[in-house]
Structure 1
Amino acid sequence: MDDILDATNRKILAELVANARIPITELARKVGLSKTPVALRLRQMEEMGLITGYRAILSPLKLGLTHVTYVEVRLTDTRQKALEQFNTAVRAIEEVEECYMIAGGFDYLLKVRSRDIAGYRRIMAERISALPHINATTSYVAMEAVVEQNWTAP
């Protein structure tokens, strides 16, 4: 993988992270190559699965989704089938922005975005509490985002 992520590919990735809509001619100019080699490198990184897609990054604040809550989830059953059922169900909750399986004192950590505390309360009561195998949850309301960023290229 290190030979694929040479200095030029790292520059390409950094430029794409900054602006995925950059024209290929401008991208080529910025990384010091012509258009054809940059296009080939992009295709190679896409085929390898290093680049998995291109998307618009929306502003949750401009969309009115200013309330962030982190939720610790403990399950009643952690056998593989139960984990798969939970994983499938939690993916269907659009307000769950992130979900991680955790090694520690609880099983999952969710990042939930909503308009306000009342919206979060509804999401918790109607959607999260209804997830399969839920034993207990603990919620932590974020007061302020100190660092919040998308992943940057290596």
Structure 2
Amino acid sequence: MEILDNFDVAIIKELEKDGRMAYSTIAANLKISNTMVHQRVNRLIAQGIVMGIKPIINEKKIGYDWGSYTGITLNKDQDSNRIIEELKKIPEITECYYISGLYTLYVKIIAKNHEHMRKVLYEKIDTIPGISKTDSIMELGCAFKRNVSL
């Protein structure tokens, strides 16, 4: 992994304040050239350090009031790549992680209400061949979410 220098860290911190901030504004704030900001952001994206600049949607404001964290047990862990491809087709699944312990995969699901959550779990996830069982913990709200400190 490449080490971030002070300019990289400063640029990322500016983008965290407002991902839509113009590169010229970042350059002026940091007293560096617009070209340098543009090149650094492109390099950070190309290296996978910055994973894109996109809006963060407040799901509750658009009608998705239910969330769950769901552990998924597979019949065979070697089927995980195929099953992940099927999970990607379910728009209500917003995150998917490989984990150790009781489950093979852990997903975050958002739904409009309890009936919608039931349908996602029983009619979409549980019907994927190779999934043995799911175990869900309902989310009651996010206390905070942030990036790692630079």
Normalising by structure 2, report the TM-score.
0.89
Q: Residue 16 and residue 130 in structure 1: after superposition, are their counterparts in 2 closer, same or farther (change >3 A)?
A: same
1:73–1:47 CA distance, 2 compared to 1 (3 A): closer
Distance in 2 separating the partners of 1:90 and 1:150: 25
Count residues with an aligned counterpart.
149
Give the aligned partner of residue 14 of structure 1: 13
Taking structure 1 as reference, are residues 108 and 44 closer, same or farther at Cα in structure 2, changes over 3 Å only?
closer
For 1:134, the equivalent position in structure 2 comes to 131
Whether 1:73 aligns to 2:72 is yes
Query: Residue 87 of structure 2 is aligned with which of 75, 87, 90?
Result: 90
Alignment of 1:1-154 (within 5 A): 1-2=2-3, 5-79=4-78, 82-147=79-144, 149-151=145-147, 154=150
Task: Kindly report the root-mean-square deviation, in angstroms, between the aligned alpha carbons of the 2 structures.
Answer: 1.7
> What amino acid does structure 1 have at the position aligned with 2:122?
A
Q: State the Cα deviation string for residues 87-112 of structure 1 (Å, max 9, x = none).
A: 11011111011111111012111110
Unaligned residue ranges in structure 1 (runs of 5+):
none
TM-score (norm 1): 0.87
Q: Percent identity?
A: 22
Structure 2 vs 1, CA of residues 52 and 109 (structure 1 numbering), >3 Å: closer, same or farther? closer
Please state whether the residue corresponding to 1:138 is helix, strand or coil: strand
